[in-house]
Structure 1
Amino acid sequence: MGLPKEHRLKHWRDFKTIYSQGKRFRGDALAIILLPQPAAPTKIGISISRKVSKKAVVRNLIKRRIRHACRTLLPQIQPGWHIVITVRYNARECEYEHFLQELKRLLIQAEVFHGH
């Protein structure tokens, strides 16, 4: 089960804009790039390179875990942001709980998480 449709970032132009103009925050396994979009719902996209794993099965497993973490944290993220989550090479060994903790830490660091 993916993210709700209104919270998906899908178009390559949106990704390109966020990469060029967004603010970056890096962790061990993930990096996030944020761009404010006032008067719009928060949209999230996930980017994972073949450098992380040559096998599509592994990359898809990582994306599923990150999507689940995003679904869990989405109600606490302030509206009006476009977020791209980039998976780093260290993510191959990570489990869901690690993605959840790191994503929460990065969102708090970026000051887009409610209550922090």
Structure 2
Amino acid sequence: MNILSLKSQKEFDRVNERGSKIHGSCFILVVSTKIIHDELAASNPTMLGMKVSRKFSKKAVVRNKAKRRIRHLTQLLVKNSDINTDNKSIIVIPKRGFENYDFSKLTADFFRAVAKLC
């Protein structure tokens, strides 16, 4: 149940190259099954990256709310025993209006999308 973050542009590029994309109703997911760091292979972490730019919203408060929601969705996903997220890298790109969706709808859509890719 370890969640680490993708930090450099090089890591994001590797996930984008190797990963599969799926479009949800309010976000885009890119999931790659290959681990980025070989030294972390023993702990099987889930790597999370977020792309929430100013194009999403000009207001920092709205962008930060979206980031908090994405982190919480990922924590719920990792705690869920039905979907195996070990050794996966996930990039989440929210679409406009993401912050207005009900959290239960977001959770169901997020779980459905990740289950398709895993």
Native 8 Å contact 1:30 1:102 kept in 2: no
Match of 2:113 in 1: 106
Query: Contact 2:65 / 2:99 at 8 angstroms: preserved in 1?
Result: no
Asked if 1:66 corresponds to 2:62, the answer is: no
Query: How far is 1:28 from its partner?
Result: 0.9
Q: CA deviation at 1:72?
A: 1.1
- TM-score in terms of structure 2 length: 0.79
Task: Judge which range, 58-67 or 97-106, deviates more.
Answer: 97-106
1:14 alignment partner in structure 2: 11
Aligned counterpart, 2:100 = 93
Counterparts of 2:108 and 2:30 in 1: how far apart (Å)? 17
Q: Deviations over 1:62-109 (max 9, x none)?
A: 110111111111133331111101111231312322221111010111
Equivalent residue in structure 2 for 1:32, among 16, 29, 42: 29
The one-letter amino acid paired with 2:75 is: R
- Deviation >4 Å, runs of 4+: none
> Normalization by structure 1: what TM-score?
0.80
Distance 2:100 2:47 in 1: 27
1:56, distance to aligned residue in structure 2 (A): 0.9
Instruction: Indicate conservation of the 8 Å contact 2:28/2:92, yes or no.
Output: yes
> Does 2:46 match 1:49?
no
Please say if residues 52 and 91 of structure 1, whose CA atoms lie closer than 8 Å, have aligned partners that are also in contact: no
Is 1:82 the counterpart of 2:89? The answer is: yes
Question: Which runs of no fewer than 5 residues in structure 1 stay unpaired?
Answer: none
